[in-house]
Amino acid sequence: MKQNKLPVILLTGFLGSGKTLLLNALLASPGYANTAVVVNEFGEIGLDHLLVQASTDNIVLLEAGCLCCTIADSLHETLADLHFRRQRGEIPPFERVVIETTGLADPAPILNTLLGNKLITAHFRLTAVVVTADAMHAIADIGRHRELLKQIAVADRLVITKRDLATEQQVSDLKQRLQQLNPGAEIFASRRGANALAAFAPDHASPARGIPAPPAHHPAHDVDRHDAHIRAHCVVLDAAVSWSGYAAWTRLMVDTLGERLLRCKGVLEISDRGEVVFVQGVQRVFHTPERLPGWPDADHRPRLVCITRDVTENEIRRILPALSLPEGSDPNITLADLAAPAIP
Protein backbone atom coordinates (compact mmCIF):
# COMPACT_ATOMS: atom_id res chain seq x y z
CA MET A 1 0.00 0.00 0.00
CA LYS A 2 1.15 3.55 -0.73
CA GLN A 3 1.19 4.58 2.95
CA ASN A 4 3.75 1.86 3.72
CA LYS A 5 6.20 3.09 1.09
CA LEU A 6 9.05 5.31 2.21
CA PRO A 7 9.07 8.81 0.67
CA VAL A 8 11.92 9.66 -1.69
CA ILE A 9 12.98 13.19 -2.66
CA LEU A 10 15.33 13.80 -5.58
CA LEU A 11 17.61 16.81 -4.97
CA THR A 12 19.32 18.28 -8.00
CA GLY A 13 20.56 21.62 -9.29
CA PHE A 14 23.33 23.05 -11.40
CA LEU A 15 27.01 23.21 -10.39
CA GLY A 16 27.56 25.61 -7.48
CA SER A 17 23.85 26.25 -6.93
CA GLY A 18 23.90 25.36 -3.23
CA LYS A 19 22.81 21.71 -3.08
CA THR A 20 25.54 20.89 -0.57
CA LEU A 21 24.58 23.73 1.77
CA LEU A 22 20.92 22.78 1.61
CA LEU A 23 21.63 19.10 2.15
CA ASN A 24 23.91 19.77 5.12
CA ALA A 25 21.25 22.01 6.68
CA LEU A 26 18.78 19.17 6.24
CA LEU A 27 21.04 16.59 7.87
CA ALA A 28 21.78 18.91 10.80
CA SER A 29 18.09 19.63 11.48
CA PRO A 30 16.45 17.62 14.31
CA GLY A 31 13.24 17.56 12.31
CA TYR A 32 14.91 15.48 9.63
CA ALA A 33 16.64 12.89 11.79
CA ASN A 34 16.34 9.35 10.47
CA THR A 35 16.93 10.44 6.89
CA ALA A 36 18.90 8.30 4.45
CA VAL A 37 20.89 10.30 1.90
CA VAL A 38 22.12 8.68 -1.30
CA VAL A 39 24.97 10.51 -3.03
CA ASN A 40 27.52 9.82 -5.73
CA GLU A 41 30.55 10.46 -3.52
CA PHE A 42 30.74 11.27 0.18
CA GLY A 43 33.35 13.94 -0.46
CA GLU A 44 30.90 16.00 -2.48
CA ILE A 45 28.68 16.85 0.48
CA GLY A 46 31.22 17.54 3.23
CA LEU A 47 30.11 15.40 6.17
CA ASP A 48 32.97 16.17 8.56
CA HIS A 49 31.09 18.62 10.76
CA LEU A 50 28.16 16.21 11.08
CA LEU A 51 30.39 13.79 13.01
CA VAL A 52 30.61 10.34 11.51
CA GLN A 53 29.78 7.63 14.07
CA ALA A 54 30.48 4.41 12.20
CA SER A 55 30.36 2.89 8.76
CA THR A 56 29.31 -0.35 7.21
CA ASP A 57 30.48 -0.91 3.63
CA ASN A 58 29.33 2.16 1.72
CA ILE A 59 26.92 3.36 4.46
CA VAL A 60 28.00 6.02 6.96
CA LEU A 61 26.00 6.63 10.16
CA LEU A 62 25.82 10.24 11.35
CA GLU A 63 25.45 11.63 14.85
CA ALA A 64 22.17 13.28 13.90
CA GLY A 65 20.54 9.89 13.42
CA CYS A 66 20.79 10.07 9.65
CA LEU A 67 22.74 7.75 7.41
CA CYS A 68 24.52 8.42 4.17
CA CYS A 69 25.45 6.00 1.44
CA THR A 70 27.12 6.14 -1.94
CA ILE A 71 25.62 4.67 -5.09
CA ALA A 72 27.39 1.31 -5.40
CA ASP A 73 26.52 -0.23 -8.76
CA SER A 74 23.18 1.31 -9.71
CA LEU A 75 20.54 3.43 -8.04
CA HIS A 76 17.88 0.72 -7.91
CA GLU A 77 20.32 -1.80 -6.40
CA THR A 78 21.47 0.76 -3.83
CA LEU A 79 17.90 1.54 -2.74
CA ALA A 80 16.97 -2.15 -2.65
CA ASP A 81 20.03 -2.82 -0.48
CA LEU A 82 19.04 0.00 1.90
CA HIS A 83 15.53 -1.40 2.18
CA PHE A 84 16.60 -4.95 2.98
CA ARG A 85 19.24 -3.82 5.48
CA ARG A 86 16.60 -1.70 7.16
CA GLN A 87 14.24 -4.69 7.27
CA ARG A 88 16.93 -6.88 8.83
CA GLY A 89 17.81 -4.26 11.45
CA GLU A 90 21.36 -3.84 10.17
CA ILE A 91 20.95 -0.06 9.84
CA PRO A 92 18.70 2.48 11.64
CA PRO A 93 15.03 2.52 10.56
CA PHE A 94 15.23 5.64 8.38
CA GLU A 95 11.95 7.40 7.56
CA ARG A 96 12.75 9.05 4.24
CA VAL A 97 15.36 9.06 1.46
CA VAL A 98 16.99 12.06 -0.22
CA ILE A 99 18.92 11.36 -3.43
CA GLU A 100 21.46 14.03 -4.37
CA THR A 101 22.70 14.19 -7.96
CA THR A 102 25.73 15.86 -9.49
CA GLY A 103 25.29 19.33 -10.92
CA LEU A 104 25.55 18.13 -14.51
CA ALA A 105 23.15 15.20 -14.12
CA ASP A 106 20.26 14.74 -16.51
CA PRO A 107 17.41 14.05 -14.05
CA ALA A 108 15.20 12.25 -16.59
CA PRO A 109 16.85 8.78 -16.40
CA ILE A 110 16.94 9.00 -12.59
CA LEU A 111 13.25 9.92 -12.49
CA ASN A 112 12.32 7.06 -14.77
CA THR A 113 14.24 4.65 -12.53
CA LEU A 114 12.49 5.95 -9.41
CA LEU A 115 9.07 5.82 -11.04
CA GLY A 116 9.37 2.65 -13.07
CA ASN A 117 11.78 0.16 -11.50
CA LYS A 118 9.83 -2.45 -9.52
CA LEU A 119 12.67 -2.97 -7.03
CA ILE A 120 12.14 0.67 -6.07
CA THR A 121 8.40 1.17 -6.47
CA ALA A 122 7.63 -1.87 -4.30
CA HIS A 123 9.12 -0.12 -1.25
CA PHE A 124 9.62 3.57 -2.07
CA ARG A 125 7.51 6.41 -3.44
CA LEU A 126 8.88 9.49 -5.19
CA THR A 127 7.24 12.47 -3.50
CA ALA A 128 9.09 15.41 -5.07
CA VAL A 129 11.93 16.68 -7.21
CA VAL A 130 13.69 19.59 -5.44
CA VAL A 131 15.91 21.76 -7.62
CA THR A 132 18.26 24.51 -6.41
CA ALA A 133 18.74 27.69 -8.46
CA ASP A 134 21.47 30.23 -7.65
CA ALA A 135 19.98 33.74 -7.31
CA MET A 136 23.21 35.33 -8.53
CA HIS A 137 23.90 33.23 -11.61
CA ALA A 138 20.91 31.06 -12.56
CA ILE A 139 19.39 33.41 -15.15
CA ALA A 140 22.66 33.55 -17.08
CA ASP A 141 23.24 29.82 -16.62
CA ILE A 142 19.75 29.03 -17.96
CA GLY A 143 20.77 30.53 -21.29
CA ARG A 144 24.04 28.60 -21.44
CA HIS A 145 23.40 25.15 -20.00
CA ARG A 146 20.74 22.71 -21.20
CA GLU A 147 21.21 20.64 -18.03
CA LEU A 148 19.87 23.45 -15.84
CA LEU A 149 16.86 23.96 -18.08
CA LYS A 150 16.04 20.26 -17.81
CA GLN A 151 16.44 20.32 -14.04
CA ILE A 152 14.07 23.29 -13.70
CA ALA A 153 11.58 21.73 -16.11
CA VAL A 154 11.16 18.53 -14.07
CA ALA A 155 11.05 20.21 -10.64
CA ASP A 156 8.14 19.97 -8.21
CA ARG A 157 9.81 22.45 -5.84
CA LEU A 158 12.38 25.12 -6.74
CA VAL A 159 14.72 26.54 -4.10
CA ILE A 160 16.27 29.95 -4.79
CA THR A 161 19.66 29.84 -3.07
CA LYS A 162 22.25 32.50 -2.10
CA ARG A 163 19.51 34.99 -1.39
CA ASP A 164 21.72 36.61 1.23
CA LEU A 165 24.35 37.35 -1.44
CA ALA A 166 22.03 38.52 -4.22
CA THR A 167 20.07 41.74 -4.61
CA GLU A 168 16.29 41.81 -4.18
CA GLN A 169 16.01 42.53 -7.90
CA GLN A 170 18.05 39.43 -8.78
CA VAL A 171 15.83 37.30 -6.55
CA SER A 172 12.65 38.80 -8.01
CA ASP A 173 13.87 38.36 -11.60
CA LEU A 174 14.82 34.74 -10.98
CA LYS A 175 11.52 33.94 -9.30
CA GLN A 176 9.65 35.35 -12.30
CA ARG A 177 11.82 33.37 -14.71
CA LEU A 178 11.30 30.13 -12.78
CA GLN A 179 7.54 30.68 -12.74
CA GLN A 180 7.62 31.11 -16.50
CA LEU A 181 9.69 27.98 -17.07
CA ASN A 182 7.75 25.77 -14.64
CA PRO A 183 4.44 27.29 -13.51
CA GLY A 184 3.52 24.18 -11.54
CA ALA A 185 6.50 24.23 -9.16
CA GLU A 186 6.42 25.62 -5.63
CA ILE A 187 9.18 28.17 -5.03
CA PHE A 188 11.15 28.55 -1.79
CA ALA A 189 13.92 30.99 -0.88
CA SER A 190 17.03 29.96 1.03
CA ARG A 191 19.40 31.96 3.24
CA ARG A 192 22.28 29.59 3.97
CA GLY A 193 20.10 26.52 3.59
CA ALA A 194 17.94 26.28 6.69
CA ASN A 195 15.20 28.67 5.58
CA ALA A 196 14.27 26.41 2.66
CA LEU A 197 13.90 23.12 4.54
CA ALA A 198 10.12 23.37 4.04
CA ALA A 199 10.83 22.19 0.50
CA PHE A 200 11.42 18.74 2.03
CA ALA A 201 8.42 18.80 4.36
CA PRO A 202 5.89 15.95 4.16
CA ASP A 203 3.05 18.48 4.07
CA HIS A 204 4.18 19.23 0.51
CA ALA A 205 4.51 15.57 -0.40
CA SER A 206 1.84 15.31 -3.08
CA PRO A 207 3.23 16.19 -6.51
CA ALA A 208 -0.39 16.39 -7.67
CA ARG A 209 -0.93 19.51 -5.58
CA GLY A 210 -0.55 22.86 -7.29
CA ILE A 211 -0.78 21.73 -10.93
CA PRO A 212 -1.73 24.96 -12.71
CA ALA A 213 -4.76 25.28 -14.94
CA PRO A 214 -6.14 27.96 -17.26
CA PRO A 215 -9.08 30.00 -15.95
CA ALA A 216 -12.59 28.60 -16.16
CA HIS A 217 -13.53 30.77 -19.15
CA HIS A 218 -10.85 29.11 -21.29
CA PRO A 219 -11.41 25.39 -20.69
CA ALA A 220 -9.86 23.83 -23.75
CA HIS A 221 -6.21 24.57 -23.22
CA ASP A 222 -3.70 27.34 -22.75
CA VAL A 223 -0.02 27.62 -23.60
CA ASP A 224 2.37 29.99 -21.82
CA ARG A 225 5.21 30.87 -24.17
CA HIS A 226 8.27 32.00 -22.28
CA ASP A 227 11.31 30.78 -24.13
CA ALA A 228 12.31 30.14 -27.72
CA HIS A 229 12.60 26.44 -26.87
CA ILE A 230 11.15 25.59 -23.43
CA ARG A 231 7.39 25.95 -23.02
CA ALA A 232 4.80 25.06 -20.41
CA HIS A 233 1.56 23.78 -21.91
CA CYS A 234 -1.26 24.02 -19.36
CA VAL A 235 -4.41 22.10 -20.25
CA VAL A 236 -7.77 21.89 -18.54
CA LEU A 237 -10.34 19.35 -19.73
CA ASP A 238 -14.10 19.77 -19.69
CA ALA A 239 -14.85 16.13 -18.85
CA ALA A 240 -13.48 12.94 -17.33
CA VAL A 241 -11.42 10.65 -19.57
CA SER A 242 -11.58 6.91 -20.22
CA TRP A 243 -8.67 4.55 -19.67
CA SER A 244 -8.70 3.87 -23.41
CA GLY A 245 -8.48 7.57 -24.19
CA TYR A 246 -5.66 8.04 -21.70
CA ALA A 247 -3.75 5.08 -23.16
CA ALA A 248 -4.13 6.46 -26.69
CA TRP A 249 -3.08 9.96 -25.61
CA THR A 250 0.06 8.79 -23.78
CA ARG A 251 1.13 6.63 -26.71
CA LEU A 252 0.67 9.51 -29.16
CA MET A 253 2.53 11.91 -26.84
CA VAL A 254 5.50 9.53 -26.69
CA ASP A 255 5.46 8.72 -30.41
CA THR A 256 5.04 12.34 -31.48
CA LEU A 257 7.12 14.26 -28.94
CA GLY A 258 9.66 11.70 -27.68
CA GLU A 259 12.47 13.29 -25.67
CA ARG A 260 11.09 16.76 -26.40
CA LEU A 261 8.54 16.03 -23.65
CA LEU A 262 10.66 16.90 -20.60
CA ARG A 263 7.97 16.18 -18.02
CA CYS A 264 4.20 15.97 -17.91
CA LYS A 265 2.02 15.88 -14.78
CA GLY A 266 -1.71 15.88 -14.35
CA VAL A 267 -4.78 15.10 -12.29
CA LEU A 268 -7.50 13.26 -14.21
CA GLU A 269 -10.89 11.80 -13.44
CA ILE A 270 -11.47 8.37 -14.99
CA SER A 271 -14.97 8.23 -16.45
CA ASP A 272 -15.52 4.47 -16.35
CA ARG A 273 -14.53 4.13 -12.69
CA GLY A 274 -15.08 7.56 -11.18
CA GLU A 275 -11.49 7.56 -9.84
CA VAL A 276 -9.16 10.53 -9.50
CA VAL A 277 -5.59 9.73 -10.55
CA PHE A 278 -2.25 11.50 -10.67
CA VAL A 279 -0.40 10.86 -13.93
CA GLN A 280 3.12 11.73 -14.99
CA GLY A 281 5.56 11.11 -17.80
CA VAL A 282 9.23 11.87 -18.39
CA GLN A 283 10.40 12.00 -21.99
CA ARG A 284 9.47 8.67 -23.61
CA VAL A 285 7.97 7.03 -20.52
CA PHE A 286 4.56 7.48 -18.88
CA HIS A 287 4.39 5.72 -15.56
CA THR A 288 1.55 3.83 -13.88
CA PRO A 289 -1.07 6.36 -12.72
CA GLU A 290 -1.39 6.80 -8.97
CA ARG A 291 -4.90 6.55 -7.55
CA LEU A 292 -5.68 9.45 -5.22
CA PRO A 293 -8.19 9.42 -2.35
CA GLY A 294 -9.77 12.53 -3.90
CA TRP A 295 -8.92 15.80 -5.60
CA PRO A 296 -5.65 17.29 -4.24
CA ASP A 297 -7.09 20.82 -3.98
CA ALA A 298 -10.30 22.81 -4.39
CA ASP A 299 -10.09 22.76 -8.19
CA HIS A 300 -11.90 19.62 -9.39
CA ARG A 301 -11.24 20.09 -13.09
CA PRO A 302 -9.10 17.46 -14.85
CA ARG A 303 -5.89 19.19 -15.88
CA LEU A 304 -2.36 18.67 -17.19
CA VAL A 305 0.86 20.62 -17.40
CA CYS A 306 3.52 19.52 -19.87
CA ILE A 307 6.98 21.09 -20.01
CA THR A 308 8.47 20.65 -23.47
CA ARG A 309 11.43 21.60 -25.63
CA ASP A 310 10.80 22.76 -29.22
CA VAL A 311 7.15 21.66 -29.18
CA THR A 312 4.50 23.91 -30.72
CA GLU A 313 1.02 24.64 -29.45
CA ASN A 314 -0.38 22.95 -32.55
CA GLU A 315 1.39 19.66 -31.76
CA ILE A 316 -0.20 19.57 -28.32
CA ARG A 317 -3.60 20.57 -29.73
CA ARG A 318 -3.56 17.76 -32.34
CA ILE A 319 -3.02 15.06 -29.67
CA LEU A 320 -5.60 16.32 -27.14
CA PRO A 321 -8.69 14.76 -28.83
CA ALA A 322 -7.37 11.31 -27.92
CA LEU A 323 -8.37 12.04 -24.32
CA SER A 324 -12.00 12.28 -25.44
CA LEU A 325 -12.11 8.75 -26.86
CA PRO A 326 -14.78 6.54 -25.24
CA GLU A 327 -14.00 3.40 -23.28
CA GLY A 328 -13.26 0.47 -25.57
CA SER A 329 -11.56 2.62 -28.22
CA ASP A 330 -8.44 1.32 -29.96
CA PRO A 331 -5.44 2.77 -28.06
CA ASN A 332 -3.33 2.39 -31.22
CA ILE A 333 -5.21 5.17 -32.96
CA THR A 334 -3.09 7.53 -35.09
CA LEU A 335 -3.06 11.30 -35.41
CA ALA A 336 -4.58 10.86 -38.86
CA ASP A 337 -7.44 8.91 -37.31
CA LEU A 338 -8.06 11.71 -34.81
CA ALA A 339 -8.14 14.29 -37.60
CA ALA A 340 -10.54 12.24 -39.78
CA PRO A 341 -14.24 13.21 -39.73
CA ALA A 342 -16.53 10.94 -37.77
CA ILE A 343 -18.46 8.34 -39.80
CA PRO A 344 -22.24 8.77 -39.26
Model confidence at 133, pLDDT cuts 50, 70, 90, reads very high
What is the domain class of 2-204 according to CATH? Answer: alpha beta
Count of beta carbons in the 10 Å neighbourhood of residue 171? 16
Residues 205-210 have a mean pLDDT of 60
Q: In the CATH hierarchy, which fold is given to the domain comprising 222-339?
A: Hypothetical Protein Yjia; Chain: A;domain 2 (3.30.1220)
Length of the chain, in residues: 344
Mean residue pLDDT across the chain: 83
pLDDT of 220 higher than 50: no
Q: What is the DSSP letter of 128?
A: E
pLDDT of 47 higher than 80: no
pLDDT at 215: 52
What does the DSSP assignment read for 222-284? Answer: EEEE-SSSEEEEEEE-SS-B-HHHHHHHHHHHHHHHGGGEEEEEEEEEETTTTEEEEEEEETT
Residues 115-131 have a mean pLDDT of 91
What does the DSSP assignment read for 21-45? Answer: HHHHHHHH-GGG-SEEEEES-GGGG
pLDDT at 218: 44
In which region does residue 65 sit, left (phi positive, over 0), alpha (psi from -120 to 50) or beta (all else)?
left
Contact 97, 124 (CB under 8 A): yes
| Domain boundaries of the chain, sorted by first residue | 2-204, 222-339
pLDDT tens profile 243-281: 999 999 999 999 999 999 999 999 999 998 889 999 999
Using alpha carbons, select from 71, 100, 111 the residue that is nearest to residue 13.
100
d(CA 235, CA 222): 6
Spell out the residues 6+ positions from residue 48 whose beta carbon is closer than 8 angstroms to its own.
Answer: none
d(CA 248, CA 269): 16
In which region does residue 16 sit, left (phi positive, over 0), alpha (psi from -120 to 50) or beta (all else)?
left
Instruction: Label the pairing between strands 96-100 and 6-13.
Output: parallel
Q: Is 292 helix (H, G, I), strand (E, B) or coil?
A: strand
pLDDT tens profile 55-106: 556 677 776 677 778 776 688 988 998 999 999 998 888 999 999 888 888 8
Spell out the residues 6+ positions from residue 189 whose beta carbon is closer than 8 angstroms to its own.
Answer: 159, 160, 163, 171, 195, 196
pLDDT tens profile 289-325: 989 999 988 888 999 999 998 999 899 999 999 999 9
